[in-house]
């Protein structure tokens, strides 16, 4: 769906224009409805359809993995995706465009929360039924959603603030260890912390608090590095933040009560799909509001010209500090969710490799843009998973893609685009015949 909405490069060829004409009047809710129907159909008859097309099972990630292992199945997998996802969604979206447009027109006059929640519920239902097919899908989806949070939070610093920070894995590990320590201490009979203190039923209630605590720990870490490093700019901040990442890593390697280099395991299994989804929604909402607030605009001013911003009464120091801590907080929350999804963390998980991964998602998706972060995190995560059968070649293809993106769109796929919820859910009219 994302591909279709964003099929608007500078000079689109004619058939794209025609496609846009054809699909331009479909509102978001109709798309979501189409998606919901398509995953429901998959749940009911997916297995049979797959067998009919000669596939052994439902293609788990759009048939990519299957086709790569057995190229003969490629037509079947393509047909499956075409019929079940693309055709169904387009067809239903197109058919229901008119009633949903009317509905959207009505809803847009209500308080914004009502239509937004409606959209989110449908979106969640799609994910739920899609992930219901296979636990592998669910795990991949959860890690993808967490990656969106990480990407978005780094985008605040690297995109909106225009600095180059390398300490995100550090913040993530602070959050991961913070949240894990609390949860393991209270709810798990463990070698490191001894017996559980609280009954297990309280776990889900304390989990959000533990995540927030993890976020706060990360923000405190960010404060430690922000104070000395904001006297510098550019390359120096990058170096200081990189050093910070290594300091955090070796801190956890040496903290025996948190497992040291052996890592910490046994986090309770609380990061299920709805939990991760709700946290992601909160994260996107808060960050989107933040970057569109006066503070966010001040942040852009600092990025473009710090001196001019100072002259225009922007308190640059405070702005930078708040943004940095804010980003670290969300990285910490994402780290906590990550720890409870994988249910094992060790200091090595939060090293240079993780940093490269997050940076790639930010720059692939697009700087200074919420859309971009979502696109970057989702595409790189799914791509990484879909190309898994290629093993070594995966690490040639993905970097190559990144290089191509950097050449043709130097700021990323969807950079500098505002995420306007009202615009997103409003009724759509047929675009005029332009050009």
Chain residues in the site for other proteins (CB under 8 A): 45, 47-49, 51-52, 56-57, 60, 65, 83, 87, 91, 134-136, 139-140, 143, 249-250, 253-254, 260-263, 265, 338, 341-349, 353, 385, 388, 391-392, 394-395
- Residue 136 C-beta: closest distance to other proteins, Å: 5
- List of residues 6+ apart from 188 with CB closer than 8 A: 196, 266, 267, 268
Which lies closer to other proteins via its Cβ, residue 244 or residue 290? 244
Structure tokens at 416: 């500098």
Which lies closer to other proteins via its Cβ, residue 215 or residue 268? 268
Which lies closer to other proteins via its Cβ, residue 52 or residue 105? 52
CB atoms within 10 A of CB 56: 11
Which lies closer to other proteins via its Cβ, residue 66 or residue 210? 66
| Whole-angstrom distance, CA of residue 274 vs CA of residue 295 | 31
Gyration radius from the chain CA atoms: 23
| Whole-angstrom distance, CA of residue 314 vs CA of residue 308 | 9
- Residue 43 C-beta: closest distance to other proteins, Å: 13
- Residue 424 C-beta: closest distance to other proteins, Å: 28
Structure tokens at 300: 């852009």
Which lies closer to other proteins via its Cβ, residue 6 or residue 250? 250
- List of residues 6+ apart from 336 with CB closer than 8 A: 175, 176, 178, 179, 180, 210, 211, 214, 215
Which lies closer to other proteins via its Cβ, residue 89 or residue 415? 89
Which lies closer to other proteins via its Cβ, residue 42 or residue 163? 42
Question: Among residues 187, 327, 190, which one has the least CA distance to residue 269?
Answer: 187
- Residue 376 C-beta: closest distance to other proteins, Å: 18
> Is residue 431 within 8 Å of residue 24, measured between CB atoms?
yes
Question: Among residues 325, 304, 327, which one has the least CA distance to residue 155?
Answer: 327
| Whole-angstrom distance, CA of residue 302 vs CA of residue 261 | 40
CA distances from 245 to 225, 282, 324, 395, 426 (A): 10, 26, 15, 24, 43
For the chain, the 3-state helix, strand and coil shares in percent, each to the nearest 5, are 75, 0, 25
- Residue 5 C-beta: closest distance to other proteins, Å: 22
| Whole-angstrom distance, CA of residue 32 vs CA of residue 119 | 8
- Residue 45 C-beta: closest distance to other proteins, Å: 5
Which lies closer to other proteins via its Cβ, residue 78 or residue 83? 83
Strand partners, 190: 194
- List of residues 6+ apart from 219 with CB closer than 8 A: 325, 326, 328, 329, 332
- Residue 358 C-beta: closest distance to other proteins, Å: 13
- Residue 68 C-beta: closest distance to other proteins, Å: 12
Structure tokens at 228: 């000395």
H helices of 133-193, in order, are 135-155, 168-187
- Residue 139 C-beta: closest distance to other proteins, Å: 5
> Is residue 37 within 8 Å of residue 85, measured between CB atoms?
no
- Residue 385 C-beta: closest distance to other proteins, Å: 7
- Residue 138 C-beta: closest distance to other proteins, Å: 8
Q: What is the end-to-end Cα distance of the chain in Å, rounded?
A: 25
Which lies closer to other proteins via its Cβ, residue 9 or residue 56? 56
Which lies closer to other proteins via its Cβ, residue 60 or residue 402? 60
Which lies closer to other proteins via its Cβ, residue 78 or residue 123? 78
Q: Using the 8-state DSSP alphabet, how is residue 313 labeled?
A: T
């Amino acid at each position: 769906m994302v591909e279709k909405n964003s099929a608007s490069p500078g000079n689109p060829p004619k058939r794209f224009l025609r496609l846009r004409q054809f699909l331009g009047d479909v509102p978001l809710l109709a798309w979501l409805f189409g998606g919901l129907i398509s995953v429901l159909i998959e749940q009911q008859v997916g297995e049979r359809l797959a067998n009919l097309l000669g596939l052994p099972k439902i293609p788990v990630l759009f048939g990519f993995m299957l086709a790569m292992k057995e190229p003969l199945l490629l037509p079947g997998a393509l047909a499956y995706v075409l019929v079940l996802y693309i055709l169904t969604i387009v067809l239903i979206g197109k058919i229901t465009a008119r009633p949903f447009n009317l509905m959207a027109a009505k809803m847009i006059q209500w308080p914004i929360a009502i239509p937004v929640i409606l959209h989110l519920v449908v979106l969640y239902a799609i994910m739920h039924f899609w992930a219901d097919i296979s636990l592998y899908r669910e795990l991949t989806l959860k890690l993808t959603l967490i990656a969106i949070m990480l990407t978005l939070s780094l985008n605040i610093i690297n995109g909106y603030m225009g600095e180059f920070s390398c300490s995100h894995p550090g913040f993530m590990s602070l959050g991961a260890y913070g949240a894990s320590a609390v949860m393991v201490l209270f709810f798990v009979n463990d070698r490191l912390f001894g017996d559980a203190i609280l009954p297990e039923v309280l776990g889900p209630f304390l989990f959000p608090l533990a995540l927030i605590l993890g976020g706060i720990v990360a923000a405190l870490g960010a404060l430690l590095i922000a104070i000395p490093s904001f006297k510098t700019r550019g390359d120096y901040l990058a170096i200081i933040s990189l050093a910070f990442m290594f300091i955090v890593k070796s801190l956890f390697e040496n903290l025996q009560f948190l497992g040291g280099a052996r890592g910490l395991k046994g986090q309770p299994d609380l990061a299920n799909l709805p939990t991760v989804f709700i946290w992601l929604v909160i994260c996107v909402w808060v960050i989107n509001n933040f970057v569109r607030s006066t503070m966010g605009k001040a942040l852009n001013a600092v990025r473009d010209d710090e001196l001019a911003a100072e002259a225009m009464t922007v308190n640059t120091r405070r702005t930078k500090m708040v943004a940095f801590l804010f980003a670290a907080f969300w990285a910490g929350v994402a780290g906590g969710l990550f720890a409870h999804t994988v249910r094992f963390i060790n200091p090595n998980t939060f090293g240079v490799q993780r940093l490269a991964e997050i940076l790639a998602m930010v720059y692939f998706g697009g700087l200074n843009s919420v859309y971009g972060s979502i696109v970057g995190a989702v595409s790189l995560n799914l791509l990484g998973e879909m190309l898994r059968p290629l093993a070594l070649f995966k690490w040639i293809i993905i970097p190559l893609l990144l290089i191509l993106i950097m050449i043709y769109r130097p700021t990323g796929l969807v950079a500098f685009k505002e995420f306007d919820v009202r615009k997103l859910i409003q009724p759509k009219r047929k675009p005029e015949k332009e050009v």
